[in-house]
Amino acid sequence: MTTTSIARIAVPVPRRQAFDFLVPEPLTVRPGVRVRVPFGPRQLVGMVIAVGAVSDVPTARLKPVAEVLETHPVFPAKLFDTLRWAADYYHHPIGEVVATALPVPLRRGAPLEPRQPHSYHLTDAGRTFDPAALGRATVQKRLLALLHEAPDQQLQSEQCRQVSPSWRRAMAVLEDKQLVTMYPAPPVPAAAPAPAAPVTLNPAQRDAADAIIARLDDYRSFLLHGITGSGKTEVYLRIVETVIARGRQALVLVPEIALTPQLIERFRQRIDAPVVVLHSGLSLSERHRAWWSARSGTAGAILGTRSAVFTPLPHPGVFIIDEEHDTSYKQQDGFRYHARDLALYRAKLEGMPVVLGSATPSLETLANAARGRHQRLELPARAGSASLPHIHLLDLRRTPSDDGLSTPLVAAIRRRIERREQTLVFLNRRGYAPVLYCCQCHWHAPCPRCDAKLTYHKRADHLRCHHCGHEAQAPRSCPQCGHTSLINLGEGTQRIEESLGALFPDARILRVDRDATRRKGRLEETLRRVHAGEADILVGTQLLAKGHDFPNVTLVGVINADQGLYSLDFRAAEHLFQQITQVAGRAGRADKPGDVLIQTWYPTHPYFESLLAHDYEGFARAALAERLDAHYPPYTHFALLRAESPQERAAIGFLGYARKQALQAVRDTQSKGVTVMDPVPAPMERRAGRYRAQLLVSAGHRRPLHRVLDAWLRHLERSPRSRKVRWSLDVDPVDLY
């Protein structure tokens, strides 16, 4: 076989290296294209990193590339450079980094351009045909019935897929019977016309938008610090409108899928260009089509969650990171990147601005702003005539409560119902009760695979572990003593919903948590009902805590506000303050004043002084001073080596060995100021049947830390001990669990 060159290819395997392959004639490759290559007994899809490389492996041992999947690079050059930087910074295999940045169909070798969807319409004969006449053809009947029920008597292929995996075969039969006809569907939603009268920004909004727009042609990072309800989204829209008018694209990241429906609607009403969405709630084909619309330049605005930071854009103009403080931007397994930090690096390469928006910025971002790395812009007041809600503490030591609801909170909810206003009750705990408990022998239902208790879910009458997913039928008697005196301790959102239903039987109550919104489209429908005034009380978790604009919500009740006050996690107080501030910000966002009632057992805790005064700045100053004294981020940089194993002592034993190698790496690289801690069990040592431990490495500066990490990981990867446990490195961890 005649060969023309050697290509270095990133293959999606857990090895921090690229692999050399021969490129046989007549194939030609270039960096950035996907290829199919033999790897062991499999064929994998990889990406070419370099061509013409000099290999350390003898040519006779190199395997040839099997197939070249495209002629032009998948990613623009600067995005490709960002991926390579990310692999180096997070010390993660380049092949897995590249795979993370690709839609799943492309990881499997699908063509870059996706197959376009179709819509199915009833024919004249189909409109008068009774679906019951189809007899036992169940899928055909269901499809035809859905078409009859659809407002426009048509279905998209994504809707058909939810009926049955065999929907295509059934739809083809309906076409043969001339009951249905198929048409191509547009791949990108049409842009809504721009409003006749543009929204008038207040002076603070206008100054912030103008400052960012003035820097659209070069890199600058901005911290848009606006209190809840201050109109950050209107600033985003003004910036995006300007960017699109200049023929460029805008990427807007949000931390939660729950935030996208309302934001999408506002963008599509205001932006005179196609708007696409990228998040995990979409089907693989939907995500692929949205990705292609962005890559091809068709989409002007791209809204997405964490992984959308990898979206290729031929004409990038601005990156906007909404709720930049949110920990959802940090990937917690596999390739542990932080989308905010990658957006900052990518924007710098692209030479364009990036906007970090938040009412409660992360302490890292505030510290960087103080150092001059971000230009700070303030929105100090709520937009329009709205004012900040009044916050009140309810002392649970002196206030009677039933099923988690105190008497003053119940009275306040009743007043809102009488005034036809809405209430949001916040509890960041799913299920009915967190503990099933035996009054006789004090047994509680443990998870057999985790160091955790099972949560009781009443509707399904089963126990579920919210850490590993283990499920079991709820027992009728105690498995330990046989007594029937089992009770449910504590409250989850299901119990609060039930209690409110008993107290207010005529009220319309909606629960918004991951259990209630699991099915596709359920979240959007729930939020639509809230905005339509079809709910009196909302009960929800953090899915409701941030970003939503509910004009008729005038009361927020916070249940179990003390969680995190005395946590081992040094970031717990910061996250708790951010969460309560965000959920409190849902109240009084229109012209009706709002109140926030916070139930707590510790009303004298200093934490609440800043919260009652809406003084996040004061809290942040105190917290940053504590971090500085304790040598914690953002004044110190962390890397966490995690290990886990089914054997009880294996993980901690491996980390003991790893610590010795880390100390050797510090000596070999002459890296001063790098500290290697002792290995310790994870706070939840056993999870999903595996014992976990962790080892923390810290340094005052990034460069010596990464020098040590690189030398350290090279040794660990070669060590036979590393193959006896599952281990991973987390650079800049957001928690130590």
3-class SS string, 356-395: EEECCCCHHHHHHHHCCCCEEEEECCCCCCCCCCEEEEEE
Domains 3-107 and 390-433+490-620 share a fold: no
The share of the chain scoring above pLDDT 90, in percent, equals 65
SS (H, E, C) 416-477: HHHCCCEEEEECCCCCCECEEEECCCCCECECCCCCCECEEECCCCEEECCCCCCEEECCCC
CATH code of the domain occupying 203-379: 3.40.50.300
Q: What's the pLDDT tens digit per position in 586-633?
A: 777 767 888 999 999 999 888 888 888 888 999 999 999 999 999 999
Is the separation of the CB atoms in 635 and 628 below 8 Å? Answer: yes
In this prediction, residue 551 carries a pLDDT of: 81
Query: Which phi and psi (to 5°) does residue 705 adopt?
Result: -60, -50
In this prediction, residue 453 carries a pLDDT of: 94
Q: What is the per-residue burial (b if ≥16 Cβ within 10 Å, else e) of 218-243?
A: eebbbbbbbbbbbbbbbbbbbbbbbb
Average pLDDT in the 472-497 region?
92
Contacts of residue 414, defined as CB under 8 A and 6 or more positions apart, other chains included, come to: 504
471-473 and 462-464 beta bridge pairing? antiparallel
pLDDT-derived band at 196 (thresholds 50, 70, 90) equals: very low
* Alpha-carbon separation of residue 470 from 450, 451, 726 (angstroms): 9, 12, 21
Q: For residue 566, what are its two tokens?
A: 């005395």
Domain ranges of the chain: 3-107, 118-184, 203-379, 390-433+490-620, 637-731
DSSP tag of 482 = -
**Domain 390-433+490-620 falls in which CATH fold?**
Rossmann fold (3.40.50)
Is the separation of the CB atoms in 500 and 425 below 8 Å? Answer: yes
Answer whether residue 236 shows pLDDT above 90.
yes
In this prediction, residue 197 carries a pLDDT of: 55
The DSSP element (H or E) to which 346 belongs, if any, is helix 339-350
Answer whether residue 187 shows pLDDT above 80.
no
CATH classification number, 637-731, choose in 3.20.20.10, 3.30.70.360, 3.40.50.150, 3.40.50.300 = 3.30.70.360
Query: How many angstroms separate the first and last alpha carbons of the chain?
Result: 53
Answer whether residue 159 shows pLDDT above 80.
no
pLDDT-derived band at 136 (thresholds 50, 70, 90) equals: confident
pLDDT-derived band at 248 (thresholds 50, 70, 90) equals: very high
The whole-angstrom distance between residue 80's C-alpha and the CA centroid of its chain comes to: 23
Is the separation of the CB atoms in 36 and 67 below 8 Å? Answer: yes
Answer whether residue 384 shows pLDDT above 80.
no
Is the separation of the CB atoms in 700 and 637 below 8 Å? Answer: yes
Answer whether residue 15 shows pLDDT above 80.
yes
Average pLDDT in the 336-363 region?
97
Other CB atoms within 10 Å distance of the CB of residue 579: 21
Contacts of residue 589, defined as CB under 8 A and 6 or more positions apart, other chains included, come to: 228, 229, 382, 386, 549, 550, 551, 553
For residue 584, give the amino acid letter: A
Contacts of residue 91, defined as CB under 8 A and 6 or more positions apart, other chains included, come to: 16, 706, 709, 710, 713, 729, 731
The DSSP element (H or E) to which 241 belongs, if any, is helix 232-245
Handedness of CA 32, 33, 36, 37 (dihedral sign): negative
Contacts of residue 323, defined as CB under 8 A and 6 or more positions apart, other chains included, come to: 254, 255, 259, 357, 358, 546, 547, 582
In this prediction, residue 428 carries a pLDDT of: 87
Alpha carbons within 13 A on the beta-carbon side of 675: 12
The share of the chain scoring above pLDDT 70, in percent, equals 96
Q: What's the pLDDT tens digit per position in 647-684?
A: 999 999 999 999 999 999 999 999 999 999 999 999 89
Q: What's the pLDDT tens digit per position in 488-512?
A: 988 999 999 999 999 999 999 999 8
Q: What's the pLDDT tens digit per position in 520-553?
A: 677 778 878 887 888 999 998 887 776 677 788 8
pLDDT-derived band at 737 (thresholds 50, 70, 90) equals: low
Answer whether residue 713 shows pLDDT above 70.
yes
Question: Distance (Å, rounded) from C-alpha 266 to C-alpha 90?
Answer: 36
In this prediction, residue 193 carries a pLDDT of: 52
Q: What is the per-residue burial (b if ≥16 Cβ within 10 Å, else e) of 68-97?
A: bbbeebbbbebbbebbeebbebbbbbbbbb
Query: Which phi and psi (to 5°) does residue 165 adopt?
Result: -60, -25
Question: Distance (Å, rounded) from C-alpha 472 to C-alpha 464?
Answer: 7
Answer whether residue 3 shows pLDDT above 50.
no
Q: For Cα atoms 229, 234, 238, give the angle at the middle one, nearest 5 degrees.
A: 160
Kindly report whether the peptide bond that precedes residue 26 is cis, defined as omega within 30 degrees of 0.
yes
In this prediction, residue 102 carries a pLDDT of: 97
Average pLDDT in the 352-378 region?
96
Phi/psi region, residue 246 (left: phi>0; alpha: psi -120 to 50; beta: rest), is: alpha
Question: Would you list the DSSP string of 253-287?
Answer: E-S-GGGHHHHHHHHHHH-SS-EEEE-TTS-HHHH
Q: Give the gyration radius of the chain's Cα atoms.
A: 28
Closest to 92 in 3D by CA, of 291, 338, 312, 344: 338
**Domain 3-107 falls in which CATH fold?**
GIY-YIG endonuclease (3.40.1440)
* Alpha-carbon separation of residue 413 from 405, 611, 669, 681 (angstroms): 10, 22, 63, 44
In this prediction, residue 222 carries a pLDDT of: 98
In this prediction, residue 285 carries a pLDDT of: 86
Average pLDDT in the 301-323 region?
96
Q: For residue 125, what are its two tokens?
A: 């004969």
Question: Would you list the DSSP string of 612-627?
Answer: HTT-HHHHHHHHHHHH
In this prediction, residue 10 carries a pLDDT of: 97
Higher pLDDT, 57 or 645: 645
* Alpha-carbon separation of residue 634 from 55, 289, 570, 705 (angstroms): 41, 39, 12, 14
Question: Distance (Å, rounded) from C-alpha 543 to C-alpha 433?
Answer: 19
Q: For residue 475, what are its two tokens?
A: 């027992």
Question: Distance (Å, rounded) from C-alpha 686 to C-alpha 82?
Answer: 36
Answer whether residue 260 shows pLDDT above 70.
no
Is the separation of the CB atoms in 283 and 161 below 8 Å? Answer: yes
Question: Distance (Å, rounded) from C-alpha 645 to C-alpha 48?
Answer: 34
In this prediction, residue 54 carries a pLDDT of: 82
Query: Which phi and psi (to 5°) does residue 701 adopt?
Result: -135, 150
Helix axes 138-149, 167-176, angle to 10 degrees: 80
Q: Where are the alpha helices (DSSP H) in 129-166?
A: 138-149, 157-161
Averaged pLDDT score across all residues of the chain:
90
Alpha carbons within 13 A on the beta-carbon side of 712: 30
The DSSP element (H or E) to which 517 belongs, if any, is none
In this prediction, residue 264 carries a pLDDT of: 84
> Which range among 46-60, 89-103, 444-458, 513-527 shows the weakest confidence by mean pLDDT?
513-527
In this prediction, residue 530 carries a pLDDT of: 81
In this prediction, residue 190 carries a pLDDT of: 45
Query: Which phi and psi (to 5°) does residue 729 adopt?
Result: -115, 135
Kindly report whether the peptide bond that precedes residue 361 is cis, defined as omega within 30 degrees of 0.
no
Higher pLDDT, 104 or 520: 104
Q: What's the pLDDT tens digit per position in 424-456?
A: 999 988 899 999 999 999 999 999 999 999 999
Contacts of residue 456, defined as CB under 8 A and 6 or more positions apart, other chains included, come to: 431, 432, 433, 434, 435, 436, 445, 462, 463, 474, 488, 492
Query: Which phi and psi (to 5°) does residue 484 adopt?
Result: -100, 10
